Amino acid sequence: MTIAEMHEVSKIFIDSRNGKGLVAIRDMSLTIKEGEFLCLIGPSGCGKSTSLNLLAGFETPSRGKVLFRGEPVKGPSPQRGVVFQEPSLFPWMSVLQNVMFSIQSKDKGERKRIALENLRIVSLDGFAHYRPNELSGGMKQRVAIARTLAMNPEMLLMDEPFSNLDEQTRRKMDEEVLKIWKREERTVVFVTHNIEEALMLGTRIVLMSASPGKKEREWVIDLPWPRDPTSDYLMDKKVEMARKMSACHCANSSNDLLEVTD
């Protein structure tokens, strides 16, 4: 069943300094199925974050439609939880308070219970009273994930959530996200520019072409987890995707700038 959809979406950002428009994505269509782990890959600047922001409701499309459960996305909603590259926690609040902050219930006891439950999911319930500056980068990102999960979103939108972490921590975090996805049965849209990460995680991988972005190709990865990145199948896929990604990078490496008059 479809949970979210981008239908022939274009997004043009207008530069107020010169009135020119930058086409970030053009005629992008994407159907997201309930329960899938969709990875969005593509060269830098091709519109991955823009697509995620449109699905989150932080941006509105210039043309086309963005739908969630068949209804137009009109703004952010707790149904669509976002995890950014930077965890952006409140430094003066404890880990527990940071997570409690995102929960809408008026009952403080209830908020605390939900926050602790979600901290347990990311194995940080023992750190509830720590401040963000006392945590490692990976732990901070886990708090950010707990904070988003505590809103009980149906769809998790993750924008390169682990790209600032070292390789080993990133792999551990990927495993954590997979566990959460399997246990909680949510839909995940995961942006990464790391082909191997996408291959280790995704049930489907969508490649966006270079700017202005649109869907270029997709691969369904019908393999169980944990996956072996050195298997012949995944090595072949990695080479194929890398070729495809560099080809679309060279074919169109500069953004379209439009004269916009109103």
Binding site for ligand ATP (CB under 6 A): 13, 22, 24, 42, 44-50, 193, 211, 255
Partner that binds at residue 211, options Mg ion, ligand ATP, none, CB closer than 5 to 8 Å by kind: ligand ATP
Residue 85 or 97 with smaller CB distance to ligand ATP: 85
Residue 44 or 133 with smaller CB distance to ligand ATP: 44
Q: Which of 25, 37, 49, 200 binds Mg ion (CB under 5 A)?
A: 49
For position 211 contacting Mg ion by CB under 5 A, the verdict is no
For position 53 contacting Mg ion by CB under 5 A, the verdict is no
Residue 10 or 49 with smaller CB distance to Mg ion: 49
Find the shortest distance in angstroms from Cβ 190 to ligand ATP: 13
SS3 per-residue string spanning the chain: CEEEEEEEEEEEEECCCCCEEEEEEEEEEEEEECCCEEEEECCCCCCHHHHHHHHHCCCCCCEEEEEECCEECCCCCCCEEEECCCCCCCCCCCHHHHHHHCCCCCCHHHHHHHHHHHHHHCCCHHHCCCCHHHCCHHHHHHHHHHHHHCCCCCEEEEECCCCCCCHHHHHHHHHHHHHHHHHHCCEEEEECCCHHHHHHHCCEEEEECCCCECEEEEEECCCCCCCCCCCHHHHHHHHHHHHHHHHHHHHCCCCCEEECCC
Strand 204-208 with 37-41, pairing:
parallel
Find the shortest distance in angstroms from Cβ 255 to ligand ATP: 5
Cα distance between residue 13 and residue 19, in whole Å? 10
Strand 80-83 with 71-72, pairing:
unpaired
Find the shortest distance in angstroms from Cβ 162 to ligand ATP: 14
Select from 42-50, 71-79, 218-226, 237-245 the region that touches Mg ion (CB under 5 A). Answer: 42-50
Find the shortest distance in angstroms from Cβ 8 to ligand ATP: 17
For position 51 contacting Mg ion by CB under 5 A, the verdict is no
Residue 49 or 187 with smaller CB distance to Mg ion: 49
Find the shortest distance in angstroms from Cβ 87 to ligand ATP: 16
Residue 25 or 173 with smaller CB distance to ligand ATP: 25
Residue 45 or 87 with smaller CB distance to ligand ATP: 45
For position 50 contacting Mg ion by CB under 5 A, the verdict is no
Find the shortest distance in angstroms from Cβ 79 to ligand ATP: 22
By CB under 5 A, name the binding residues for Mg ion. 49
